[in-house]
Structure 1
Amino acid sequence: MRRVDRREFAREASLAFLSGVTVTVSGCGGGGGSGGSGDYSSPTTVTPPATGTGDEVGQISGNHGHEAIIRAAQLMAGGDLQLDIAGQAGHSHLITLPAAAVIDVRSGRPVAVDSTSTDAATGGGVHSHTVTFNAESTEPPIRY
């Protein structure tokens, strides 16, 4: 069995702790995505969120202010994640990434996942979004 020093133990314990954390990400805007009624033809311009080195920002279809970020520590932990992309949109969407998807994202492979459908009470109607991580890849995304 290999010896682990205090620093390595603290790092690994922190990563293990963070692997089970539900992440809340921020954004702004109204409705958007597929289905429902309302004006989704003009997505708002989103200021990119502050991210740390190694964080992965997802590209969101029909976006109107939502943001999805997997933090570097979560990528390294490789566990299941549930991200809330509600931000300040006035409504919530969740995406669920199984551990295999997180590992694919960490490895640079494109991954796509659909959000939950939500009725935007501010006139947005029922809609959902597709979030793609590593969208700049030339490969087609792996769907989860």
Structure 2
Amino acid sequence: MTRRDFFAQTTAWLGAGAALALTRCGGGDEPSDGPAAGSCLDNGTEVTISGNHGHVLMVSKDDVAAGVDKTYDITGGATHTHMVTITAADFATLADNQSIAKTVTTPHTHNITVRCA
């Protein structure tokens, strides 16, 4: 095989590989469905706490699967505590991959959103 033949074959293989990669990327004009929805039963949850100053709430996939009322202490790194109760109905909502909202008001207010990860 000559140098010229080798170069021609290599270029052809690289071109074919690039074309294959482009077709697998789905580079068409069709809109994408966006990111996959989270699954509380598979991945647990993500939590946001408004006006947060160190509080932490962890709702595990095991808690969602158990589906029974549970009260959480969300003190975390804060110097005071708040208690948050997630009910069996709330867990059923999470198991259906929907978010829930809670509010704690003592000694001040935090709005808490729990959504599937």
TM tier relative to shorter chain? 0.5 to 0.7
Q: Give the structure with the higher percent helix.
A: 2
**Map of 1:113-132 to 2, 5 A cutoff?**
113-118=102-107, 127-132=108-113
Residue equivalent to 2:114: 133
| 1:80 and 2:69 correspond | yes
Compute the TM-score of the two structures, normalised by the length of structure 1.
0.48
- After TM superposition, give the deviation of residue 73 of structure 1 in Å: 0.9
1:61 to 50, 58, 82: 50
CA–CA distance in structure 2, aligned partners of residues 69 and 108 of structure 1: 16
Q: RMSD of the TM alignment (CA)?
A: 1.9
Query: TM-score scaled by structure 2?
Result: 0.58
Q: Kindly, what percent of the aligned residue pairs are identical?
A: 32
1:135 Cα deviation (Å)?
A: 7.9
Q: Distance in 2 between matches of 1:81 and 1:90?
A: 22
Number of residue equivalences: 76
Runs of 4+ with deviation above 3 angstroms: none
What runs of 5+ residues in structure 2 fail to find an aligned partner? 1-41
Distance in 2, matches of 1:103 and 1:110, equals 10
